[in-house]
Amino acid sequence: MLVPYNWLKEWVDLKEGPEELAQRLTLTGLEVEGVFNAYEDLAPVTVVRVVSVAPHPHAEKLKVCQVSDGERDYQVVCGAPNVREGLKTAFAPPGTVLFTGEKISEAEIRGVRSEGVLCSPYELGVEAKKDGLIAFSDEVSLGRKVIEVLGLYEPVLEVAVTPNRGDCLSIYGLAREAAAVTESVLRPFSPPSLPLGEEIFAETSVVIEVPELCFRYAGRLIKGVQVSESPFEIQKRLWFCGLRPINNVVDVTNYVLLFLGQPLHAFDFDLLEGRRIIVRRARPGEKILTLDGVERPLDEGIMVIADASRPVAVAGIMGGEETAVTGKTKNIFLESAWFNPSSIRRSSQRLKLSSESSYRFERGVDPEGVINGLELAASLIQELAGGEIVPGRVDEYPRPYVAREIRLSPKRVSLYLKVDLPQEKLIDLLKKVEVKVERGVEDLICVPPSYRHDLTLPEDLIEEIARLYGYDKLPVAVPRAEIVGRPPRPFDRLLRRAREILTALGLFEVINYSFISPRFVSLLGLEDDPRARTLSLANPLSEEQAVMRTTLIPGLLQTARVNVFREVPDLKIFEIGRVFWPREGEPLPEERHFLAGLLCGRAHPPSCHQRPRLLDFYDLKGVLESFCHALGVRGLCFEPGAGEPFLLPALSVALKAGEEKIGFAGALRDDVLEKLDLSGPIFVFELDLEKLCHLVETKKTYQPLPKFPATFRDLALVVPEELPAGDVLAFARELSFPHLEDVQLIDVYRGKGVPAGEKSLTLRFVYRAKDRTLRDEEVNDLHQQVTEAILSRFKAKLR
Amino acid sequence: MVDEKSLEELKKKALSEIKEAEDEKGLEAARVKFLGRKGELTRILKSIAQLPPELKPVIGRLANQIKKELEAALKEAQQELKKKKESRLPGVDLTLPGRPYPLGKLHPITQVMTELCEIFLRMGFSIATGPEVELDYYNFEALNIPPDHPARDMQATFYLTDKVLLRTHTSPIQIRTMEREKPPLRIIAPGKVYRCDSDVTHTPMFHQIEGLMVDRDVSFADLKGVLSVFAREIFGEETRVRFRPSYFPFTEPSVEMDISCVICGGEGCRVCGQTGWLEILGAGMVHPNVFRAVGYDPEQWVGFAFGLGVERITMLKFGIDDIRLFYENHLRFLEQF
Ligand SMILES: [Zn+2]
């Protein structure tokens, strides 16, 4: 909310300047985001001299002027009668927003280019004079800022009013708050006294059909008004607060809204059918053309103000165009009401329409302030637009305000704040915010003022006490409490350890958005995959972030693109994050922690010590093997062929725990790469960490170190190319011969000495006895048996 | 005939040859030439027997002394050569860069999140978690934000359905934890949160850490104490803190904590908007309605809660000026931390 300091000062005798006041308000709970000059919008306007004036070739009343700010010349089309060569005046360049609300841009005016406008005193917010340009005396130097030359300065506080403090959404409300938090005195406001009586009831009536939505509805009738422009001072005040002047009647309603926080609406009384008001729910099929020129369909969830036949306003939000006050209006019905805040908010959201009124109604206006607003506005309208106020006023008040009583125990205050304030001090602080306090037996019996909807519980009063006393004056302590800390959960440890291991393996951690583009389904060919079933956001920021991810791969691919396109072609990255799988019949999805990674480009950074080489599948597998080893994963198998539509079957593996697939790893298919504008090979992997967690061996048992030396024997086999080396290795490792401790695959060879279509595998066997050194003959004998077992199992020859 | 003079000359010659030997081979040649079986000095020593008796002792003593001297010189020269050899290996250039053993790094958000969590873990808080796709009830209603409450405007929300949304803060974890566990409690809840916002200071996803302490005798003073300790641990001992009243529907009284600007130290700069203070977190005493929603008796239990934005703290720590960098994941960015 924009608060002109000088308006505020009319109601509270502040000793603080605008900056000091801003600081004080901020420290007591109303954050002031800044203090600025209301004329700041006009800062680009400078003093220029009219160098030449020529007639406009296509318009009789316009002139084409060359003006100079002392540095350069501008061409401006101008229609002011007093423009003449040598005149010093004000020039607004494109981008300036004038007092009138007009935003200047470079324009063609009837075929002639105009690089800005020359301004009248009115357009600069100086005085009401509209015809003719502002003129400066000769001493004023060219190029100076006009706001400086004229001393245009009006300090305005930008206050961020929190949603609980609807009472501060007005000048008077802020004056009250300022008085409470400084040592200043508030000037009391009382409305003018206007004629009372019964006459109004002969002319009109108000019926509230929905007392649960409209607690109070008041109105006055003003007859014979002259609608025209408001006085300049009123216009200026509205402008300081960011509102645009419209006409004297509407401006008064806005002025009172700003001053007292009471929203008002003026109807053209003669256009109200039946000359009466009904507050009711809209009926299905009803529509209204609102003041912003939009026709809006209504429904029963929306409260309207209706005349005898149709809605004439959306209650509390915006009036209708058809009954609006215009230049022709003679008689006015002025509305001042109190609507149910949540009803206004619901309607406002339903219609996607909000206004200064709805903003205040949602946050709660003062039910006891309805009449103040009405009376002030009626008298101002009469003052500015003439006419007669019809004696009497409507005041339907089906749910009168009942003051709340809050029992505050001083003990609770000291429990909360750890400070023992005497009761007198508590009462004193609460009185600053107009809370009435009486002493009970033990408690203080407190009655907050009608405009403080936020004060309902003792804790709310404790907050008032704390902030008025000063948060910084309250004591500081270190909690004394029994120790409740627990060790981290195993899964959290696993996540932490997984991150450590992967970075040690050279991978960088990335974090991608949890929402992705739904196009990932077709990108990865997942049309028939359960992962194509995603949760969609109802209101995404863009199509790129419209569904919740069911796999981390699309995010990693996006990261790869960002890097590869921006000079980082070598990538080793991983992400740990949740994926979201919709569950049948459950409102919330299943959220699982996944780990995924991506490797592409060169295996090592460029170095004088190593020949460059591209990453290959064995790098991927090596990373995963080391990861599993370091994490203590047991029983994870790499089965050829991942079965993932986006991976090359020949260059991918499924990661399995027994029969259950818990992940995959492999190279992306070429068509996927092509769609991404990337070139391969690119390797990815993904693992369900919650499943992997079950494979982590947490219990480790010590194995005694060998006391006797081992003996090694190598076995070179020639086998058909199709025979997977892993099968031979796995078979050899499964063999149960005494003293056979370990088997390693130490070489795979093709070429000289090995026939085409075959390959040579060299296995190294480690033999060791626990209790003695094995003799050579014993080992030879064993190794002979091992060799025979392998030769009888596989189609293999000795090399 | 051997005399003293010729012996001295022999010594001189031998010493100079030893000195000039460039390698082991040259040194060995010099040794053979003078001290070898047929070496010049060896020959002289052998011939002493034939000398006249009056010369024998003089020449003999001198020759033996020279032999010792030469042997010592040889030894010294050998060591000298060895030293020289060790100091320089052919083909080795110690100025070459090492062979790379590249390590990866954790995302800066993870790093700072871990650091933040550790501070609270040391103060006896434990970690709690909850779902990122959340029910409206846990994200708003149970936190004293009924439907149609204007406080909902404070958090632009992504909805999936009317009742299901992406959590806008980590506060729903408070509710879920309190529903499950009996007081006293001391938890922190780190995690991702989501809001419909995107510009230089907002990304639609970011990270928060929520904290909650509930006990019989917890006060506003404890809240100030815990958060002051936290601020000094993360931003340094000289950091000053300031508490301002604020509004969160789920706390009463509510507070915002500012720290003295980490850039200018409180003098006023662009980052702190010339105020010398930076807003760092929101907190407050747990609202009685929140306790009622989870079935805790607000007459018996008191608590405080706080929530802080990990991105904001990370940006301040590292001087990062655009929050979107965190989620672009450009390696040139990530490798700086
Ligand atoms: Zn600063």
User: Would you tell me which residues 549-578 of chain A have a C-beta closer than 8 angstroms to some C-beta of chain B?
Assistant: 559, 562-563, 566-568, 571-574, 577-578
Phi-psi region of B159 (alpha: psi -120 to 50; beta: other; left: phi over 0): beta
Say whether B245 and A467 touch across the interface (CB within 8 A). Answer: yes
Task: Calculate how close chain B gets to A549, using CA atoms only, in Å.
Answer: 12
> Quick one: what percent of chain A has pLDDT higher than 90?
91
d(CA B336, CA A508): 11
Say whether B247 and A29 touch across the interface (CB within 8 A). Answer: yes
Q: Which pLDDT does position B189 carry in this prediction?
A: 96
SS3 of residue A274 by DSSP = helix
Cα B316 to ligand 1 centroid, rounded to whole Å: 11
Q: Cα dihedral angle (B96, B98, B100, B106), rounded to 10 degrees?
A: -120
Q: CB-side exposure of B65: number of CA atoms within 13 Å?
A: 9
pLDDT at B195 over 90: yes
d(CA A381, CA A383): 5
- The shortest CB-CB distance from B204 to any of A541, A548, A588 is to A541
CATH 3.30.70.380 fits A711-798, yes or no: yes
Q: Cα dihedral angle (A540, A541, A544, A547), rounded to 10 degrees?
A: -20
Residue B279 marked in a binding site: no
pLDDT at A481 over 80: no
Q: Which pLDDT does position A483 carry in this prediction?
A: 64
> What mean pLDDT is predicted for residues B273-292?
94
Q: Which CATH architecture has domain A406-469?
A: 2-Layer Sandwich (3.30)
d(CA A557, CA A686): 13
Q: Which pLDDT does position A541 carry in this prediction?
A: 95
> Where residue A482 falls among pLDDT bands split at 50, 70, 90?
low
Cα B278 to ligand 1 centroid, rounded to whole Å: 8
Fold of A40-150: OB fold (Dihydrolipoamide Acetyltransferase, E2P) (2.40.50)
For A82, the enclosing helix (H) or strand (E) is none
Q: Which pLDDT does position B273 carry in this prediction?
A: 83
d(CA A609, CA A601): 18
d(CA B17, CA B9): 12
Say whether B121 and A485 touch across the interface (CB within 8 A). Answer: yes
**Among B203, B199, B169, residue whose Cα is nearest residue B311:** B203
Interface test with B, best of A347, A351, A416, A575 (most B CBs within 10 A): A416
A vs B: CB pairs below 8 A: 250
Compute the Cα dihedral for A40, A46, A47, A53 and give only its sign: negative
Is residue A796 within 8 Å of residue A719, measured between CB atoms?
yes
Task: Calculate how close chain B gets to A349, using CA atoms only, in Å.
Answer: 9
> What mean pLDDT is predicted for residues B108-122?
95
Rounded to two decimals, what is the model's pTM? 0.87
> Quick one: what percent of chain B has pLDDT higher than 90?
62
Compute the Cα dihedral for B10, B11, B17, B20 and give only its sign: negative
> What mean pLDDT is predicted for residues A252-265?
97
Cα A551 to ligand 1 centroid, rounded to whole Å: 42
> Where residue A255 falls among pLDDT bands split at 50, 70, 90?
very high
> What mean pLDDT is predicted for residues B45-59?
82
Q: Which pLDDT does position B23 carry in this prediction?
A: 84
* CA B127 and chain centroid, separation: 23
Q: Which pLDDT does position B213 carry in this prediction?
A: 95
Domain with CATH 3.30.56.10 in chain A: 2-38+155-186, 406-469
User: A363 to chain B: which residues are within 8 Å by CB?
Assistant: 150
pLDDT at A376 over 80: yes
- ipTM, interface predicted TM-score of the complex: 0.87
Q: Which pLDDT does position B1 carry in this prediction?
A: 61
- CB within 8 A of A20, min separation 6: which ones? none
Is residue B230 within 8 Å of residue B121, measured between CB atoms?
no
pLDDT at A90 over 70: yes
Q: Which pLDDT does position A577 carry in this prediction?
A: 97
Q: Which CATH architecture has domain A490-694?
A: 2-Layer Sandwich (3.30)
Domain with CATH 3.50.40.10 in chain A: 199-396
Could you tell me which residue, A101 or B167, shows the higher pLDDT? B167
State which CATH number among 3.30.2290.10, 3.50.40.10, 2.40.50.100, 1.10.10.10 fits the domain covering A199-396.
3.50.40.10
d(CA A121, CA A42): 12
Amino acid at A271: L
pLDDT digits (tens, 9 = 90+) for A603-659: 999 999 989 999 999 999 999 999 999 999 998 999 999 999 999 999 999 999 999
d(CA A379, CA A189): 14
- The shortest CB-CB distance from B287 to any of A459, A479, A540 is to A459
Is residue A48 within 8 Å of residue A88, measured between CB atoms?
yes
Domain with CATH 3.30.930.10 in chain A: 490-694
- Is A612 in CB contact (< 8 Å) with chain B? no
> Quick one: what percent of chain A has pLDDT higher than 70?
99
Is residue A281 within 8 Å of residue A208, measured between CB atoms?
no
Q: Which pLDDT does position A485 carry in this prediction?
A: 65
- Whether the bond into B184 is cis, omega within 30 of 0: yes
| Token code pair at residue A514 | 């949890």
Interface test with B, best of A417, A476, A513 (most B CBs within 10 A): A476
pLDDT digits (tens, 9 = 90+) for A547-564: 999 999 999 999 999 999
Is residue A484 within 8 Å of residue B185, measured between CB atoms?
yes
Task: Calculate how close chain A gets to B82, using CA atoms only, in Å.
Answer: 29
Say whether A508 and B334 touch across the interface (CB within 8 A). Answer: yes
Task: Calculate how close chain A gets to B264, using CA atoms only, in Å.
Answer: 19
> What mean pLDDT is predicted for residues A725-731?
92
pLDDT at A372 over 90: yes
Say whether A342 and B146 touch across the interface (CB within 8 A). Answer: yes
Fold of A2-38+155-186: Phenylalanyl-tRNA Synthetase; Chain B, domain 1 (3.30.56)
To which residue do tokens 């892993």 refer?
A726
Cα-only R_g, chain B: 42
Task: Calculate how close chain A gets to B158, using CA atoms only, in Å.
Answer: 6
d(CA A763, CA A715): 5
pLDDT at A35 over 90: yes
Q: Which pLDDT does position A478 carry in this prediction?
A: 83
pLDDT digits (tens, 9 = 90+) for A287-305: 999 999 999 999 999 999 9
Cα-only R_g, chain A: 41
Chain B residue closest to A364 (CA)?
B150
pLDDT at B3 over 90: no
- Is A165 in CB contact (< 8 Å) with chain B? yes
**Among A645, A628, A486, residue whose Cα is nearest residue A551:** A645
Could you tell me which residue, A470 or A799, shows the higher pLDDT? A470
Instruction: Tell me the average pLDDT of chain A.
Output: 94
